[in-house]
């Protein structure tokens, strides 16, 4: 991308983000999958009889909400637009592939943050105070960027059949939820479980949110923030690079 055109590309990426939010995100199925799926998982686990405090459970619910909402639609946007032939029209505009991908990621991140803030308010309303507001805001921003990049990365395979991508998305997302310390404290996991959890960015986001609500965490805060930022950069770079390679096969 020409550095001189960077501001223009950013404006075009924002236009793509607004288009995505208007067309894809404010729909019933998206809200159901992004909001109710983590709530149902939470309630199923909570009613299972585990004696865990709200200061552990609510941050896990926040983590699931951000993860599911930020990845609810982004994997399917490219297949949808490819099948509708609107991707060809978008690609013919003076906009780079990186800006198109960035726009999809921004829309996904904003949607995830907006839905997750509702979950945070629910936790506060349940009597769970936020001890570290600044760190929570940093965690939400980094987590939304990271998870939206993961969702867009899942759309890399050059297929115009959304169901194929959503199947792949589910195969990845649900295992990540169960290895990331959401339902079982990291301190109670065997060494191999902690080793698996270390490869999941959701682990570090949930660890940060638990620190913000209870003051307790498994990893140091600087480690959580640093690794979450590192995952965000890696997934974002990989997403843009791979979409540049596969985009011509969609058109």
Please give the Cα distance from 58 to 126 (Å, whole number).
Answer: 9
pLDDT for the residue 167: 79
Left (φ > 0), alpha (ψ -120 to 50) or beta: where does 85 sit? left
Number of other CB atoms surrounding residue 213 within 10 Å: 24
Three-state DSSP at 156 gives coil
pLDDT for the residue 140: 96
Please give the Cα distance from 148 to 106 (Å, whole number).
Answer: 8
- What's the whole-number mean pLDDT along residues 180-184? 85
- What's the whole-number mean pLDDT along residues 171-190? 86
pLDDT for the residue 74: 82
What average pLDDT does the chain have?
84
Please give the Cα distance from 65 to 116 (Å, whole number).
Answer: 6
Model pTM above 0.85: yes
Per-domain boundaries in the chain: 3-250
pLDDT for the residue 163: 75
Q: How confident is the model at residue 20 (pLDDT cuts 50, 70, 90)?
A: confident
- What's the whole-number mean pLDDT along residues 180-185? 85
pLDDT for the residue 3: 46
Left (φ > 0), alpha (ψ -120 to 50) or beta: where does 161 sit? beta
DSSP3 helix / strand / coil % (the chain, rounded to 5): 80, 0, 20
Here the tokens at position 24 are: 């894809």
Between the CA of residue 235 and those of 17, 20, 94, 229, 238, what are the distances in Å?
18, 20, 25, 10, 5
- What's the whole-number mean pLDDT along residues 162-167? 77
pLDDT for the residue 66: 92
């Amino acid at each position: 991308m020409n550095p001189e055109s960077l501001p223009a590309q950013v404006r075009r990426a924002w236009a793509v983000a607004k288009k995505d939010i208007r067309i894809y995100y404010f729909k019933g199925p998206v809200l159901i999958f992004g909001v109710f799926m983590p709530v149902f998982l939470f309630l199923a686990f909570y009613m299972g009889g585990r004696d865990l405090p709200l200061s552990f459970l609510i941050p896990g619910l926040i983590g699931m909400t951000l993860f599911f909402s930020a990845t609810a639609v982004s994997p399917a946007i490219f297949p949808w637009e490819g099948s509708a032939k609107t991707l060809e029209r978008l690609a013919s505009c003076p906009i780079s592939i990186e800006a198109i991908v960035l726009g999809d990621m921004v829309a996904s991140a904003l949607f995830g943050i907006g839905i997750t803030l509702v979950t945070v308010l629910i936790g506060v309303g349940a009597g769970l105070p936020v001890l570290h507001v600044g760190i929570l805001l940093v965690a939400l921003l980094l987590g939304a960027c990271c998870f939206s990049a993961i969702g867009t990365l899942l759309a890399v395979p050059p297929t115009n059949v959304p169901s194929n991508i959503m199947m792949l998305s589910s195969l990845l997302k649900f295992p990540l939820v169960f290895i990331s310390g959401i339902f079982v404290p990291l301190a109670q996991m065997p060494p191999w479980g902690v080793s698996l959890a270390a490869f999941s960015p959701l682990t570090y986001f949930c660890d940060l949110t638990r620190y913000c609500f209870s003051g307790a965490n498994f990893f140091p805060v600087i480690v959580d923030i640093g690794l979450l930022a590192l995952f965000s950069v890696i997934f974002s770079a990989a997403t843009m690079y791979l979409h540049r390679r596969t985009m011509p096969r969609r058109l």
